Structures are given as C-alpha cells and as structure tokens.
Amino acid sequence: MVTDKVDTKLNEMIIHDLLLVPIHIRDDRHVCLSSEDCIRLFGNDVQLTVEKELSGDRVLYREKITLVGPKGSIENVALIGPFGGQTYIELQMADRWNLGVEPPVKESGTALAAPTLTIVGPMGSVVNYMNGIIMGRHMHMDADRAKALGLKNKAFLSVETRGNQPVILKNIQVTINNHHYTEFHLTGNEAEALEIESGDNVKIVL
C-alpha cells in the first residue's frame, strides 16, 4: 500500500539522520579538577568565573593553572568544569616534549595509570598520579539517539568519513550522555590527515 511505502521511506530518512554525527576537532589541553583538588589549588572560598559555556553541561573557567612535568612546565592551562569527580588532564601531542612525559592516547576522562604531573594553582599544588592523557578519537551521544540505534554506553562502533575519499574508522568508543548533544571528537592532526573539518559529519556504520 502507498501508506506503507511512505512509512518505510520516512523511517529510512529518520535512521539516516540518526547515523550522521557532527565532527568536533579538539586540540585543547585542559584540566578538570575534583572538588577537593579545586580547594587545594584555589582555597576554601574559591568561586571560579565561567568564561564560556561548552557542549553538554561543561563550562570553561577564566582561571588558569600550570602543569609541571619532569622536563618543563606549561602555564595558562584551561580549566573545564563542572568539578566533582576525579581530576584528569588532557594534553596535546607536543606536550610530551615540553613536559617530558609519555601519556597514553585514551578517551577523554579515562582513569588509568599515566605519567605523574604536578598541577599548580594560586593557593597550592596537587601531584596527579593517574590521569594525564592525550585525547583519543571518541564519540559522545545523547541518550535518545543511542536508544533508537540500540547502542549501549562504552560500546565500540565504526564511522565513515564523508567526501570524495571516504575512510572507515574503527573502534570508536561511545559515551552516552543525558545532555542532548552528539559529537565525534578527534584531534586536528587526525582531521587534517583525513581532510575533514569541524562541522562536517561522519556516518555511523552499523
């Protein structure tokens, strides 16, 4: 029947749109602090100033910190909130030489053994033993889309880049969130090699 054909076409269009995920290129180094470490760095009466609202419920604070490694330091490192969980550090590839460390390439927010770095603030310092990483490619997905696609939190999938020479990228881990945003994150070096830009889409390969 005509109605069945229309419904089928509509469902195909909906699924097609759900499979397209916008790209967000990230080369930013930043630190996300636990509540306890925030107090150690900024004092008991700390009230940080929100400079910019980011995707999801994240915010960029105006205040900065310094990272110190075995061979050097990096000043004016961004703070991303909200705070509350574990402290973790995301670095750029070039920071390996500046700091003298070899952080693993992992998903944002991953807790794992990693190089020791010292975080220095205006009121004190914190030695961070666990969570210095270089961000690996990964995907954030809103809960409604994940449910529609039958995906579970921390699942792995493949995506296909768009354009004249599409490439399939495998083993992309998905973090499902309740903040109503879906993005595929990768670094600028990767994006340049793949000839893609922020605002382009990748397509999930089911």
Residue 149's pLDDT is what? 92
Q: Fill in the amino acid letter for 111.
A: A
Distance of CA 117 to the CA centre of its chain: 20
State pTM to two decimals: 0.63
**Which of 109, 135, 161 finishes a domain?**
135
**Which of 75, 107, 135 finishes a domain?**
135
DSSP 137: P
* 171, 192 contact by CB (below 8 A): no
Is residue 11, in this structure, part of any structural domain at all? no
* 58, 80 contact by CB (below 8 A): yes
Is residue 2, in this structure, part of any structural domain at all? no
Residues 78 and 95 in one domain: yes
* pLDDT band per the 50, 70, 90 thresholds, residue 4: very low
> Which distant-in-sequence residues (6+ apart) come within 8 Å of 79 by Cβ?
30, 31, 32, 33, 48, 60, 61, 63, 64, 65
Is residue 80, in this structure, part of any structural domain at all? yes
**Which of 135, 166, 188 finishes a domain?**
135
Q: Fill in the amino acid letter for 7.
A: D
Residue 10's pLDDT is what? 42
